[in-house]
Amino acid sequence: MKKQVLLLVSSAALAAGAAAQSNVMIYGVADVGVNYTDFKRGAAGNTLSLDSGGSQGSRFGLRGSEDLGGGLSAQFTLEGGYTIDNGNLAFNGRLFGRQAWIALDSKTMGTLAMGRAGSFSSGAAAYDMWVSIDPFKTAFGLASLNNTFSSGALRLDNTVFYRSPKMGGFQGGLLYSFQSAQAILTENPGSGNNNRTIGAGLSYANGPLYAVMTYDLIKPATITSGALAGRTNPDQKHFQLGATYDFGVAKVHGAYAKQTDHSLYSPVAADLSFASTVDPLSRPDADSYMLGLTVPVGVGSILASYQLRDGEAVRTSAAATYEADRRVFAIGYVHPLSKRTRLYVEAADSTGKKSIAEGSAANDAFNRREFRVGVNHNF
Q: Answer whether residue 348 is part of any domain.
A: yes
Kindly report, residue by residue over 27-50, the tens digit of the pLDDT. 999 999 999 999 999 899 999 999
Confidence of residue 228 (pLDDT cuts 50, 70, 90): confident
Number of separate domains in the chain: 1
- Whether 182 has a pLDDT exceeding 70, the answer reads no
Q: Answer whether residue 34 is part of any domain.
A: no
Q: Answer whether residue 57 is part of any domain.
A: yes
CA-closest candidate to residue 274, choices 285, 287, 289, 258: 285
Q: Percent of the chain having pLDDT more than 70?
A: 93
Give the residue-averaged pLDDT of 157-168.
Answer: 97
Return the higher-pLDDT residue of 5 and 318: 318
Instruction: Please tell me the total number of residues recorded for the chain in this structure.
Output: 379
* ∠ CA 268-270-271, rounded to 5°: 75
Average pLDDT, the chain: 93
Q: Answer whether residue 281 is part of any domain.
A: yes
- Whether 246 has a pLDDT exceeding 90, the answer reads yes
What are the CA-CA distances from residue 138 to residues 49, 130, 355 (Å)? 21, 9, 25
Q: Answer whether residue 83 is part of any domain.
A: yes
Q: Are 346 and 143 in contact (CB under 8 A)?
A: yes
Give the residue-averaged pLDDT of 141-158.
Answer: 95
Give the CATH number, domain containing residue 165.
2.40.160.10
Kindly report, residue by residue over 64-97, the tens digit of the pLDDT. 999 999 999 999 999 999 999 999 999 999 999 9
Confidence of residue 346 (pLDDT cuts 50, 70, 90): very high
Stretch (H or E) spanning 3: helix 2-21
Q: Answer whether residue 172 is part of any domain.
A: yes
Q: Answer whether residue 84 is part of any domain.
A: yes
- Whether 263 has a pLDDT exceeding 70, the answer reads yes
Kindly report, residue by residue over 5-16, the tens digit of the pLDDT. 334 334 433 444
- Whether 115 has a pLDDT exceeding 70, the answer reads yes
Q: Answer whether residue 8 is part of any domain.
A: no
Confidence of residue 311 (pLDDT cuts 50, 70, 90): very high
Determine if residue 153 is left, alpha or beta; phi over 0 gives left, psi from -120 to 50 gives alpha, anything else beta. left
Range of the domain at 208: 40-378
| Beta partners for residue 296, in sequence order | 301
Rounded CA-CA distance 372/347 in Å is 6
- pLDDT at residue 21, as a whole number: 58
Confidence of residue 3 (pLDDT cuts 50, 70, 90): very low
- pLDDT at residue 5, as a whole number: 36
Which pTM value belongs to this model?
0.91
